[in-house]
Amino acid sequence: MGARYEIRFSGSGGQGMILAGIIMAEAASIYEDKNAVQSQSYGPESRGGASKAEVIISNQPIDYPKSTSIDCMLAMTQEACTKYYKDVKAGGILLVDTDEVKTLPKGGFRLLSFPIIETARKELGKTIVANIISLGMITELTGIVSRESIEKSVLSRVPAAFLDLNKKALAIGFERAAALK
């Protein structure tokens, strides 16, 4: 791990991108002994519009809390993908939702497409856990935190009645990302 590892979760307001960022930051800084800063950027609308959460993870103190060159980005809508993909560094990862992002950007990054929302709908019956599937995928693809840490972090943030659903969503994320690698 370099001095800074930068992850951006992007989509539209209401898709849980900021929560995904918080969970990732907590996995790194509370359940592992790393530093993390999570910041967010969103429009005045509480639903819709491009929204993003950024997480910087480091073994050292973190100065600048926003991204400089992104190691891994998730795009859950076309608008967010088009607006934000340019900051992904050469050799970085861009993971997009297959059904939402049809116009694929070109760059020196590794582009991965997976039907995240559709998988949540078909296999778990709830699109609301699409963000948790993507957290599983990003954990698997980047290895920036362990599977155990992200699971502890997810489970500490969701209501008791939905522990099992979220556990399953995370497991699907790990498994499908492993197949993409």
Partner 1 sequence: MAERKKKLLQGNDACVEGALYAGCRFYAGYPITPSTEIAEGMSVRLPKLGGKFIQMEDEIASIAAAIGASLTGLKSLTATSGPGLSLKQECIGYACLTEVPLVIVNVMRGGPSTGYPTGPSQSDLMAAKWGAHGDHPAISLAPQSVQEILTETVRAFNLAERFRTPVMVLYDEIVGHMREPITLPLPGELEVIDRAKAACRPEEYFPYDDRYEVAPLAPFGAGYRFHVTGLNHKQDGFPTNDSNIIRANNERIMNKIENHKDEICLNEAIDLDDAEIAVVAIGSTARSARYAVKEARAAGIKAGLLRPITMWPFPDKAVKELGSRVKAIIVPELNLGQMVHEVERCSKKAQVTGIHRVDGEPITPAQILEAIRKHK
Residue 36 binds partner 1 (CB under 8 A) = yes
- What's the DSSP call for residue 96? E
Asked if 29 is part of the footprint of partner 1 (rule: CB under 8 A), the reply reads yes
Of 19, 39, 107, 121, which lies in the binding site for partner 1, with binding defined by CB under 8 A?
39
Q: Does residue 14 touch partner 1 according to CB under 8 A? A: no
Q: How far is the CB of 41 from partner 1 (least distance, A)?
A: 7
- Which residue in the set 14, 48, 66, 164 belongs to the binding site for partner 1 (CB under 8 A)? 66
Piece of 39-47, 74-82, 137-145, 166-174 that binds partner 1 (CB under 8 A): 39-47
Q: Packing angle between helix 17-29 and helix 130-142, nearest 10 degrees?
A: 40
- Token readout for 91 is 């050799």
DSSP string, 34-83: -EEEEEEE--S-SSEEEEEEEEEEESS-----S-SSEEEEEE-SHHHHHH
25 counts as binding partner 1 under rule CB under 8 A? yes
Indicate which single residue of 37, 72, 74, 177 sits in contact with partner 1 (rule: CB under 8 A).
37
Check binding of 91 to partner 1 (CB under 8 A): no
User: Cα separations (Å) of 125 from 13, 173, 174?
Assistant: 21, 15, 18
Nearest to 13 by CA among 55, 62, 50: 50
**98 membership: H or E segment, kind and range:** none
Number of other CB atoms surrounding residue 21 within 10 Å: 25
Is residue 162 at the binding interface for partner 1, with CB under 8 A as the rule?
Answer: no
- Segment near partner 1 (CB under 8 A); pick from 23-31, 91-99, 123-131, 138-146: 23-31
| Binding footprint of partner 1 on the chain (CB under 8 A) | 22, 25-26, 29-30, 35-44, 62-66, 68
